[in-house]
Amino acid sequence: MPFLIGRFMRKRNLLLFIILMLFPVLVFAKNDIYSKNADIYINKDGSANVTETWDVKGQDGTEWYIPLTNLGQSEILNYTVSMDGKDLRFKSWNIDESISQKAGYYGINYVNNGMELCFGKTDYKRHTFVIKYTITNFVFTTSDADVISWRIFEYQNSSTNWENFTVNIKSFYSFPDTLDVWGYGYKGYAYVKDGMIQMSNEGDMGTNYVVLQAKFPKGTFENLVTYSQFETFDDVKDMNDEGKFDYDYDLDNEYSNLSTLGKIWYIIKNIISTVFPFALFVWIAVMCTKPEFGYKDNKKIDKNNTPMFRDIPCNKDIYYANTLIYLNKFGYKEGNIIGAIILKWIKEDKVRYIKRNDGTRKEESVLDLTSKPEFTEKVEQELFDIMYKASEDGYLESKELEKYCRNHYSKFFSIFTRQVNDKINSLEAEGKIYKKINKKDTKAKKIMDESIYEDSQRLFGLKLFFNEFAKMDTKETLEVKIWDEYLMFAYLFGMADKVSKQLKNLYPEYIEQELERNNLDLNTLVLINSMTTRSVNAASAARSAAQSYSSGGGGFSSGGGGGGSFGGGGSSGGGGSR
C-alpha cells in the first residue's frame, strides 16, 4: 500500500508540475508581430539607411523596442518613428512609464554596449509602425573583401509572437546575381534578385533571429573601418558558421515525385545547365525515365482525334478530374484547383465576397470567411485554414493571400499535392490503378484501368470544347444552365478567365440570372480569378527564386550561427514587446 500511495503522489506531483509550467502560457496573452519588413539602402561610404515596417497588435505591456547592442564602430543616427502614418514625438525614455505616458512618443533606452529603440503602445489595437534610422559603418572591410555581417532582426522575447519578415537591400549599384550572401538564425531564404538582396522566412519565426552575411569585392565601398578580429573574410564566416545547422526544405513537389533516374537528371541539369542546352536534358529525362502511370498496351489519349465533350465528366467530381489531369499530363498545375474550390464554396454559401470599408481606405471586395464552415474534403479544410490565417480577421483581401503564399509556398503547394496523392491512393484501393504483372502490358510502372481511360478521354474532350468555345463569335445552343459547373472544370485547366469572359460576351443576360441563382455574379468571377492568379504566381515566383541560387551565392538560410555579426542583442531577453 505505501508503494501505491508513493506512486500516486509522484504522479500527482508530476501533473501539478506540468500544470504550473503551462500556467503562464494559459494566463498571459501574447503580443503579435504579424510582420517585420526592412528596406535598407547602402551608401557608398558603407552606411545604411534603414526603414523598418512593423505590423503589430499589442495584448499587454507599454512599448515595442528594437535592441541594438554590440555595435562595434557603428552609430545609430536620424532615428524617427511614425504610427499609422502619423509621426510620433521624441522624448527622453523611461521604460517604467505607463502606456498612457508613452502613447504618441518614441525614444532611446541606453543599455550596456548599445541601445534599444523604443516606441510606445497607444492601445492594444492593431497598428503599423514605420521606424527609420541610419547605421554608420554598416559595411566593414577585411584584407580580401568588403563585408556585411549584421543582425538585422533580433529574436523576440517570450511575450511576443512573430510570424513573418522580409528584407530588401539595395545600394548605389545593382547587385549581381553572383554576389555571395548568407542568412543565419532562421528557416528561409537569402539571395540576390533584380539587383537587390532579398531575405524572407518559411514558417513562423518563433524565437529565431535574422543575420545577413554578404561578401563584396574589395574596394566596392569607400572609407571603410576594419576590425582586428577579422583579418580575412573567412574569419568572419568561420565565426558566423559556429553553431549553425541546416533545415529540411521541401525543395520541389515535382522533384519529390520523380523516379530515381529522374532525380539524377534533375540534379545534373541544375549543375551543368550553363554547358548544355536545357532542352537536351529534358529530352534525355523523358527518354530515359519510365512513366509512373500508363494504360494497358501502352494505349494513350489520342489528343488529335478525341471528340469534343460538352457534358460534365468524372461524375462532376473536381478532385477526381484534377487527379486525371495530373496523371494524363493534360497541363496540370498545382494551384489551378483553387478557383474551382472557392467557386464551389460560394455556390454552397460557405463563403462570399462582400464590400468593406474600414475607414482608412476606399471600399474594396474581400472574401468573408467568418462563418467558419465545416468541410468533408480534407483539402478544403486545409485551404480554408490557410486563407483564414492569411486574413487574420476572417475577411480575406487578395494581397493578404498573395503575401502568405509568397512566405509559405511549400505549405501552400503541398496541400494540392496531397490531394492528388490521396486520390491516387483511393483509386489504387478501388483496384482502378494497379501494379503491372507482365512487363509486356505497359512501359509504365502502374496501370490505369479502362474506366479511367474513358473518363480521361471525356475530360480531354471537355478541354477541347473550352478551347473552341473561347474562339466562338456566334451563339450556339448550349446547356448554359450548367455553366457554373463548367467554370469549375475550366479552373482545373487554367482556362476560367477565357471561358468566363466569353460567357459574358455571348450570353450576358442569361448568365447573370444563372450566376445570381448560385450566389454569384460576373464580378465575383473576376475577383476569384484575380485572387487565385496572384496567389499562385506569388508562391511560384518565391519557390523559383529560392531554388535558382545555391549556397554561397544565395539560396536557403541556416538555423543558428551568426555569432560574428554586429547589432542585435538587448537587455531584456530579445526584442519585441514589454
HEC string of 415-440 equals HHHHHHHHHHHHHHHCCCEEECCCCC
Residue 428 has pLDDT above 80, yes or no: yes
Mean of the pLDDT values across residues 266-276?
Answer: 52
Cα–Cα distances (Å) from 96 to 243, 330, 360, 408, 484, in that order, read 36, 65, 33, 38, 61
Mean of the pLDDT values across residues 541-550?
Answer: 64
Least confident of 260-274, 279-293, 308-322, 513-527: 260-274
Mean of the pLDDT values across residues 371-387?
Answer: 93
pLDDT on residue 461:
95
- Residue type (1 letter), 167: V
Residue 42 has pLDDT above 90, yes or no: yes
Residue 186 has pLDDT above 80, yes or no: yes
Confidence bin at 6 (pLDDT 50/70/90): very low
Q: How far apart are CA 437 and CA 424, in angstroms?
A: 19
Strand runs labelled E in 194-292: 196-201, 210-217, 245-246
pLDDT on residue 177:
82
Residue 161 has pLDDT above 90, yes or no: no
Least confident of 155-164, 254-263, 403-412: 254-263
pLDDT on residue 289:
56
Least confident of 128-137, 240-249, 325-334: 240-249
Q: What is the pLDDT of residues 54-80, one digit of tens each?
A: 999 988 889 999 998 888 899 999 999
Hey, which CATH number is domain 32-247+557-577, 3.90.550, 3.40.50, 1.10.357, 2.60.40? 2.60.40
Confidence bin at 1 (pLDDT 50/70/90): very low
Residue 394 has pLDDT above 60, yes or no: yes
C-alpha cell recorded at residue 567: 547589432
Higher per-residue pLDDT: 2 or 46: 46
Best CA proximity match to 52, nearest among 41, 40, 42: 40
Q: How far apart are CA 247 and CA 187, in angstroms?
A: 7
